[in-house]
Amino acid sequence: MLRTIIMGTCVQVQGTFVRALSDGRIVVSVGNQHFAGKPITAAA
């Protein structure tokens, strides 16, 4: 499943969901790299 995270104030990364962390962040995989950040929720 593709997920989008935000890392900092203006950097967003979209990749395959890997796992959820205990502090509310999630990890996504892009190629062979993993990135952790706050998930972006869909607009209502």
Query: Within the chain, what is the greatest distance between any pair of CA atoms?
Result: 33
Q: Let me know how many helices (H) and strands (E) the chain has, helices first.
A: 0, 4
Q: pTM here?
A: 0.86
Q: Which residues pair with 39 in a beta bridge?
A: 5
- Tens-place pLDDT, residues 1-29: 899 999 888 999 999 999 999 999 999 99
Residue 7, C-beta contacts closer than 8 angstroms, at least 6 positions apart: 13, 35, 36, 37
Q: How confident is the model at residue 41 (pLDDT cuts 50, 70, 90)?
A: confident
Q: How far apart are CA 21 and CA 19, in angstroms?
A: 7
Domain boundaries of the chain, sorted by first residue: 2-39
Residue 44 has pLDDT above 80, yes or no: no
